[in-house]
Amino acid sequence: MTKIVTIEAKPLLRDAYTPFGTVIDASRNPIFCGDGQYFVERLTLTRRTGPMRRINRHFDSTQLFIPVTQTPFLVVVAPPYLSAAAFDPTRIRAFIAQPDQAFTFAIGTWHIGPRSLDGRPMTFVNLQGQRSNEEHTVDIDLVELLDTAVEFRVPG
């Protein structure tokens, strides 16, 4: 039987999120792309139900999400120093972002796409390296690798 790990979501605050990326504020926020080629897209993420079983990371660029939908959402990450072979689901962190909070995933940060808190699809502007998904991504299936899935507890 698949083990379920429950992660408590916390507010998305700049200092708490620093190990995983940047919460964009009024200051200049650098982004990086190894080959200098970015793509930008308007991305609508559909509703995800049930525990999380997959997580991925990119090694070539920072990934930026700017919310268009005006509703809070969940940002899910794990430290970049974890290897796929020794991945520990208890190291996953979840943050509750407000509709006006843009953020990045730092290079190598494990993540999933933002999750809606109310189950409706959400739209974002997504900026990342041109070849991130095709050539520079590691994706793991936690159920297959560790017989573990992750669920999130959102206070309130």
Assess whether pLDDT exceeds 70 at residue 131.
no
The full set of domains in the chain, from first to last, is: 3-153 (2.60.120.480)
What is the pLDDT at residue 35? 74
pLDDT digits over 28-71, tens only? 888 887 777 888 999 998 877 789 999 999 888 889 999 999 99
For residues 74 and 117, is the Cβ–Cβ distance under 8 A? Answer: yes
Confidence of residue 119 (pLDDT cuts 50, 70, 90): confident
Average pLDDT score over residue span 112-139: 82
Distance, in Å, from the CA atom of 45 to the CA atom of 13, rounded to the nearest integer, reads: 23
% residues pLDDT > 90 (the chain) = 71
Distance, in Å, from the CA atom of 123 to the CA atom of 114, rounded to the nearest integer, reads: 10
